[in-house]
Structure 1
Amino acid sequence: MHIGILTLALSLPGCGSLKEKRQRMGGLHERFGRNPAVAVCESADHDRLDASEWTFVVAAMSSQRVESLCSEIEDKLQRTVDGRVVGVAREFL
């Protein structure tokens, strides 16, 4: 079993309320949490309006599959979230 931890820091310029922040993040739990190989949570910046940090834990039988899933998550997040990715950290166990 191989495990990857992907952490993405996002900037949300112009975000004026926590409600708007939730709307802009657009249900990351529902989108990525459907995959049984992925666990997702907002890991920092809970009360900040202009920033958000999300961590994804990916488990698979091969390291290539873990890396592929991490890349898919990162690409999809950059395309669908109304904000800018300002930091990416990957750790493989």
Structure 2
Amino acid sequence: MHIVVMTVEMSLPGCRSLKEKRQRMGGLHERFGRNPAVAVCESGALDRLETSEWTFVVAGIDGRRVEALCQEIEDKLQRTVDGRVLEVTREPL
């Protein structure tokens, strides 16, 4: 079993309220949480408007598939979130 904990920090320039932050980050649970190999949660910067931190736990039997899924998540975040990815850390368990 291969498990990777991936933490993504994103910048949300110009975000003026927690409501706007939720709208800009909206749907991450629904988009990624449907996959049974992925668990996702907002893990930091909960009350900071211009920053958002999310953690994804990706598990699978094949290490290459787990790595590919992590890359897919990162790519999709860069394409779909109204902000920019500042930092991505991956920690294998």
Query: What TM-score range do you get, normalising by the shorter chain?
Result: over 0.9
Q: What's 1:37 paired with? A: 37
Give the TM-score of the pair, scaled to structure 1.
Answer: 0.98
Cα distance, 1:12 vs. partner? 0.4
Cα distance, 1:90 vs. partner? 0.5
Paired with 1:6 and 1:76, the residues of 2 have a C-alpha distance of 14
Structure 1 residues 13-92: aligned runs within 5 Å = 13-92=13-92
Letter in 2 for 1:27: G
Cα deviation, 1:2-26, whole Å, max 9, x if unaligned, reads 1011110000000000000000002
Letter in 2 for 1:20: E
Paired with 2:9 and 2:23, the residues of 1 have a C-alpha distance of 17
Letter in 1 for 2:77: L
Gap regions ≥5 residues in structure 2: none
Letter in 1 for 2:75: D
Aligned residue pairs total: 93
Give the TM-score of the pair, scaled to structure 2.
Answer: 0.98
Which stretches of structure 1, 4 residues or more, deviate above 2 A after TM superposition? none
Gap regions ≥5 residues in structure 1: none
C-alpha root-mean-square deviation of aligned residues, in Å? 0.5
